[in-house]
Structure 1
Amino acid sequence: MNGTRVAVLGAGIVGAACARELALCGFRVTVVDRGAPAGATTSHGEGNILVSDKGPGPELQLAQLSRRLWPKTLAAVAERSDRGARAAAAVEWEPKGGIVVATTEAGAAALAEFAGAQRAAGVRAEALDAAALAEAEPRITRDHTAALHYPEDAQVQPAGAAVALLTDALAAGASLKSGCEVLSAVTRGSRLTAVHTTEGLVEADVFVNAAGPWSGELAARLGAPIAVRPRRGDILVTTPLPPTVFHKVYDADYVGAVGSSAEDLQTSAVVESTRAGSVLLGSSRRRVGFDDRLRPHVLAAIAAKALRLFPCLADVAVMRSYGGFRPYVDDHVPVIGPDPRLNGLWHATGHEGAGIGLCLGTALLVRNLLLGEPPAVEASPFRVDRPAVIGRAGQTEATEPAEKDRTGDSKSAKEETA
């Protein structure tokens, strides 16, 4: 039995995955979160598990690993106990596949080039002619220039997925402290030995920073800042419909938006259904710090892009909208591994909008590194001591560009909530 004490700081999908992986290895795990499990970024996403939006490189390798792990992990959770079986069922695992559509000749050429590079990296990307696309998605626009099917793409109910992983972690001996905010570090020399929280002292041998968009702020409180900052996204939710959209469908512009470092608003069409019948419409990306206000012009831009792919949605009612923050790193590569500046501090963050899809691979890599095992994927691209993570670590959400409100005045999130 491994006697090492691990405190996982964050109970979202990445923290839950890390807690489960380490608890099953015999680590004595405590999960700490200032709110409730899956209560922040995880519950404000779409639940996507994608390989289709990632070009060759370390993130794709991590996504492919995670995609292989998801079915096995859910089967293991379900087999552990009746409670685990119920938790696994609530994940709503759907290996529905994804379809990427180009609507311009330039977009078709770029999509073909991107898919060719992906195939060379082991991704299944199948070209669809007009008839095959119409069969796969009968209600999609006929005004397109190319389409690709990615059968490996999948979807889960994100909060349900995080709870299932955390349930399995608790069954393996982990403990949970919710409503417990980390305030500061306790160090002995260059080693982190404990953290002060609103509920008292938490001691451990290893601390895993899995606080998502708040990871930069948390790391700064612990004395080792990292340049992980929030990037906001918003989603529209329609009223329940008869079967209308059968895959995750998005336009070819989405890949560019994911990989962009632009600070202003970017939108692209992302359309998919849920088991309840609602259709989710995304997506947007904008850097506005932690300003959590919904913006009508952003929602309107999302809807307009979605209608280009599915004109049939024009008269469908939207019953709600929501937004959330993603942990953004300038080089678009997650931050996974030990912090060389403070012994005992580890990071598992920076996944931006891909945390659901990358969490299991991230957790396995953390375990590999902690135990000195051969890593499941090459670990060096995710290291903490790289320029995008430490080089810009002094910049926080307070220094992000302010977004103009509807009157034209520019206000930061800090000013607005003061």
Structure 2
Amino acid sequence: MSLPRFVDVVVIGGGAVGAACAYFAARSGLSVAVVERGAVASGTSSACEGNILVSDKEAGPELDLAQYSQGLWRGDLAEFGRLWEFEAKGGLVVSARPGTQENLALLAERQRAAGIDVELVAADGLAELEPQLNPNMAGGAYYPQDAQVQPMLAAAHLLRLARGFGATVHTQTTVTGFLRRGDAVTGVVTSGGTVSAPAVVNAAGTWGGAVAQLAGVNVPVLPRKGYVLVTEPLPIKVRHKVYAAEYVDNVASSDAGLQTSPVVEGTRGGTILIGSSRERVGFDKAVDPRVLAAMAGRAIGLFPFLAGAKALRSYFGFRPYCPDHLPVIGADPRAPGLWHACGHEGAGIGLSVGTGALLAAALTGTAPAMDLAPFAPERFDIPAAQEAAHA
């Protein structure tokens, strides 16, 4: 399909976030064209676990966005849940030491005050939730709101639904520049031609920073590499998403070095997904067996039965990391007409639908359900921020 000459909105990126932006914008009555340099969901969305979590987020804007997104996954989009294998499995965060359990209890208290449903679990209550869990755990916290989807299916079906509202999707189409009128962005230049549009949404994931640079603005999205191990199908089931409490600290860390913390969850097919790792090594695609070995060892520490399981395969992806651990969502005043929806790091699947709904509201002149100020793209423009502080 050839590119249209003019649309209301061009969405750059065909992953989960771009797909959600396209769906909600098209459903709102806007004409939409999605341009994706590869295949649908060929970036980070194809190399993750499909998490929809509240358990790993401290009280604040990201948790607020997670709650808003939860409402959409479970409410507005519930009729489509079977399409992307929505599974309300719940999450169990476990502590190996009493001191860690105390910190987890404090986090749970703050989250509960923000409206999260969380139940502290004593050590002797963990086996009821996860019979195969290491019995030496000091305790945990159960989050019934945690869920999971198949991320590639989510992206593909959201785009299919968007096409039902008139959107067009153009894969193998690389954005090489922007149409401009002065500072304003008025469309995109691609490998397949140009498209004029009063609004362009940068939903390019890990490449969101590079796309922003094409428009001359700074959005410091960096790749953060992470692996997933997949076991053979097993008769023993892991019932929830289970992870060690230090995973929360790793998510919030800005350390560029390697960090691993055990994350274990089952799939409907019987395989078990094992994570997690985080490291900033650019777009280095070399497989490091030491990272996989560390992940496997930590997972066995949670579930000893995994010591006898065979790994079928591993995969890795690059999560779009922002230095302040908040995504970039909203209009960019430095380049009017350019909007951003990127930098969600490992939470992009869960936060995608909330991001798309908020942008669609703003694009149509409707007040968004949440304040977008904490996610403002210009927050990274340090000189401008300093001038404003002294004004």
Q: What SS does the aligned partner of 1:89 have?
A: coil
Distance across 2 between alignment mates of 1:6 and 1:337: 14
Q: CA deviation at 1:300?
A: 0.9
Which residue identity is paired with 1:42?
S
Aligned residue number for residue 192 of structure 2: 199
Q: Whole-Å Cα distance in 1 between the matches of residues 98 and 126 of structure 2?
A: 17
CA deviation digits over 1:153-172, x for unaligned, max 9? 00111101111111110111
CA distance in 1, matches of 2:62, 2:7: 29
In 2, the alpha carbon distance for the partners of 1:247 and 1:236 equals 17
For the residues of structure 2 that align with 1:222 and 1:305, how far apart are their CA atoms? 43
Partner of 2:312: 319
Q: Which residue of 1 aligns with 2:264?
A: 271
Structure 1 distance, partners of 2:307, 2:314, is 16
Cα shift readout 1:224-256 (whole Å, capped 9, x = no counterpart): 231111111101000011142000000000000
By how many angstroms is 1:4 displaced? Answer: 6.1
Aligned residue number for residue 285 of structure 1: 278
Q: Which residue of 1 aligns with 2:122?
A: 129
In the alignment, does 2:19 pair up with 1:16?
Answer: yes
Q: Which residue of 2 aligns with 1:404?
A: none
Aligned to 2:360: 367
1:189 aligns with 2:192: no
- Match for residue 231 of structure 1 among 215, 220, 224: 224
1:13-412 to structure 2, matched below 5 A, reads 13-76=16-79, 78=80, 88-387=81-380, 390-391=381-382
CA offsets, 1:356-392, max 9 Å, x none? 11011111111222223222112110111113xx349
CA contact (8 A) 2:10 2:187 kept: no
Report the Cα distance in structure 2 between the residues aligned to 1:130 and 1:193, rounded to whole angstroms: 58
Structure 1: runs of 5+ lacking an equivalent:
79-87, 393-418
Residue 261 of structure 1 aligns to which amino acid in structure 2?
S
Shift of 1:75: 3.5
Contact 1:108 1:145 in 2 (8 A): yes
- Report the residue type matching 1:65 in the other structure: Y
Instruction: Measure the CA separation in 2 of the matches of 1:302 and 1:75.
Output: 34
Q: Secondary structure at the match of 1:220?
A: helix
CA-CA distance at 1:315 after TM superposition: 1.1
In the TM superposition, residue 194 of structure 1 has moved relative to its aligned partner by 2.2
Deviation, structure 1 residue 71: 2.3
Task: Normalising by structure 2, report the TM-score.
Answer: 0.94
Q: Would you say the 8 A contact 2:226–2:316 is kept in 1?
A: yes
Deviation at 1:293, TM superposition (A): 1.5
| Residue type of the alignment partner of 2:284 | D
Native 8 Å contact 1:185 1:223 kept in 2: no
Bigger Cα displacement from structure 2, 127-136 vs 329-338: 127-136
Separation in 1, partners of 2:154, 2:362 = 24
Measure the CA separation in 2 of the matches of 1:4 and 1:122: 39
- Tell me which moved more, 352-361 or 197-206: 197-206
Aligned residues: 378
Counterpart of 1:385 in 2: which secondary structure? helix
Deviation for aligned residue 1:132? 2.7
Deviations 1:27-70 (A, max 9, x none): 00000000111111001000110000001000000000101110
Deviation at residue 72 of structure 1 after TM alignment: 2.6
Which deviates more, 18-27 or 240-249? 240-249
Partner residue in 2 for 1:407: none
Does the residue aligned with 2:77 lie in a helix, a strand or coil?
A: helix
3-state DSSP class of the match of 2:212? helix
TM-score (norm 1): 0.88
Q: Confirm or deny: 8 A CA contact 2:7 2:196 kept in the other structure.
A: no
The CA deviation at 1:106 is 2.0
Regions of 4+ moved over 6 Å: none
Query: Which residue of structure 1 lines up, in the alignment, with residue 389 of structure 2?
Result: none
CA-CA distance at 1:145 after TM superposition:
0.9
Q: Distance in 2 between matches of 1:218 and 1:391?
A: 20
Please list every run of 5 or more consecutive structure 2 residues that lacks an aligned counterpart in the other structure: 1-5, 384-391
Which moved further from structure 2: 23-32 or 200-209?
A: 200-209
The residue type paired with residue 235 of structure 1 is V
CA distance in 2, matches of 1:95, 1:60: 18
Separation in 1, partners of 2:197, 2:154: 26
Assess if the C-alpha contact under 8 Å between 2:28 and 2:364 holds in 1.
Answer: no
Separation (CA, whole Å) in 2 of partners of 1:49 and 1:243: 24
Deviation at 1:184, TM superposition (A): 1.2
Q: Distance between the aligned counterparts of 2:313 and 2:161, measured in 1?
A: 32
